[in-house]
Structure 1
Amino acid sequence: MKVTIYGIPNCGSVKKARTFFEENNIAYDFHDYKKAGIDEQHLQKWSTAFGWEKVLNKKGLTYRNLDETLKNEIVNQESAIKLMLDNTSAIKRPVIESDKGNTIGFDEKEYEGLFL
């Protein structure tokens, strides 16, 4: 099975996801989008699959610290993707792509159903 975890290494949810895969002996690739960035195609695909409102992490510190004017400009998928390209920390994490399906965020029960 091919699994790629997208996120940033110091994120608590990403750490939980990585631990889940390691404890269950599931090999994965890790894509650090803080260092390696993320392309518009991935953000388009995730926004279509999960909804841009879910991909854009409005609960996170990065989003909450944005200027109110900038936040008010986020009205659709296109504007959300532009923001996420410029501020990768505003992307909900982790995003997991695999042969068995894709998921966003950490949910151990969902992981068990999808990957075990």
Structure 2
Amino acid sequence: MLTIYGIKNCDTVKKSLKWLDKHSVDYQFIDVREQPLEKETVLDWLNELPADQLINKRSTSWRNLSDNQKTLKDNDALAELVAEQPTLFKRPLVKDNEGYHCGFKEAEWSDRYL
């Protein structure tokens, strides 16, 4: 079963959940606004994904960060920041039997989950 992390009103998350339902793929959805992220969860992500793959640098949340926050290199501090501001990570974030993946690309998901 897949675990999908996201925000239910995010257009990309909506599209990805609709795709999973259409293709009868079993998943658990975790809305990070309703179930706040633990720093340890984000550390798990960062242990597998480079920060530049995890962080959405085109988001309003990113643009609103201080220059100091934007240059964080320490995974511990970065995990804390993402846990506090979950709109910073690229959505959806998927945990499957191969690890973690960010974003929704229909062709990739077809290859991976069908």
- The answer to whether the 8 A contact 1:56-1:90 is kept is yes
The amino acid of 1:95's aligned partner reads L
Report SS of the residue matched to 1:30.
strand
The residue number in structure 2 matching 1:103 is 101
Q: Deviations over 1:55-94 (max 9, x none)?
A: 122111111122334324x223222112101111112111
What is the TM-score normalised by the length of structure 1?
0.86
Give the Cα separation in 2 of the matches to 1:87 and 1:101.
Answer: 23
The amino acid of 1:23's aligned partner reads K
Give the Cα separation in 2 of the matches to 1:100 and 1:23.
Answer: 22
What is the TM-score normalised by the length of structure 2?
0.87
Of 76, 83, 86, which aligns to 2:84?
A: 86
Q: Which runs of 5+ in 1 are unaligned?
A: none
- Please tell me the root mean square deviation across aligned C-alpha atoms, in Å: 1.7
Report SS of the residue matched to 1:75.
coil
Q: Which runs of 5+ in 2 are unaligned?
A: none
